[in-house]
Chains A and B, each alone.
Chain A
Amino acid sequence: MIVPFSNVLVVAGILFALGVFCTVARRNLIMIVLGIEIMLNAASIVFVGAALHLDSLDGQTFVLFILAVAATEVSVGLAIIVYAFRRTGSFDPANFNLLR
């Protein structure tokens, strides 16, 4: 017997809110991508907890896919950040207005 599923939801919700705050409030591209990682991580916690709650392995399978998507997103996102840093010499999203 562990804990009720609602406590798992609350913990993951707090983590997700922290990720949203990091994504929205920080003005640094690397911190924005880190915030997206935190949100994906919170979603993974909910999926694993729900797999235990519903006694089904589908939740754990989806965490496998979340891992793959997170790796994809980070590699492409960091490549884009490096490219943008070469063009502008800054990590501030406000400086990426070359198209204007």
Chain B
Amino acid sequence: MTLYGILFYLISAAVIAATAMAITRKNLVHAVVYLIISFFGTAMLFYLFGAPLLAALEVIIYAGAIMVLFLFVVMMLRAESSHESVFPPIQWLPAAFFCLIYVLVATAMSVRTPGMNVPLKMLTASPRQFAVYVFEYHWFSIEVVSILLLLALIGALNLGAGKDAGSDGEPTDYNTDPAGEPPAAAGSGQPGRRSNRHGVEDEK
């Protein structure tokens, strides 16, 4: 086994362990931080597979932007100590059993398929090659994805604008706080959170 093989198994073990820790945490902040570790490991895997640009994008977008968005929501809504009702084991044990069967079958299938046991070559697609390829063959998809991002921006702004003023007896100052979007939320502060907490508790 070469050095790169050892690196692959080390990183994979770290990624799987961090993800398993993340999905079993009660505290949501801990879960998000473990998942950041997992995404860093995934970025290293991408680099090992010869995609340095994607490794950088994984760190920037996944571990940076998306997880920070999760942290914002978890911290702003005080979700970290929520009393979560768990399924009884009689409900989730059969599901876990079927999942285990599928993982075992897929493992056997992918290992036993001919042509799968040839070790991968070391190749690297430089960012320049990758960008030239993307904009030569997939430029239309890039345009479609940019429209999708614009639609997501509009939709998130529309949802976070808080148009349900007065319908639930909420304080009016809370409605100036678009909690769905981190830039606006970081700028505006949360003057009305404490009163909103009480309003929510009364409603419940």
**A residues in contact (CB < 8 Å) with B:** 1-11, 13-15, 17-22, 24-28, 30-31, 33-35, 37-38, 41, 44-45, 48-49, 51-53, 55, 57, 60-61, 63-65, 67-72, 74-76, 78-83, 85-92, 94
The residue in chain A whose Cβ has the minimal distance to the Cβ of B13 is A11
Given contacts A45-B45, A48-B51, A75-B156, contact A89 B204 (CB under 8 A): yes
A79 touches B84 (CB 8 A): no
Bound CA–CA A75/B160 (angstroms): 10
Which chain B residues border A52 with CB–CB below 8 Å?
Answer: 49-50, 120-121, 123
A35 touches B23 (CB 8 A): yes
Given contacts A55-B123, A87-B168, contact A60 B54 (CB under 8 A): yes
Which chain A residues border B111 with CB–CB below 8 Å?
Answer: 6, 10
B134 touches A64 (CB 8 A): yes
Interface residues on B, range: 35 or more
Q: List 10 A-B contacts (CB under 8 A).
A: A2-B122, A14-B16, A17-B99, A24-B95, A30-B79, A41-B38, A41-B39, A45-B46, A80-B159, A91-B84
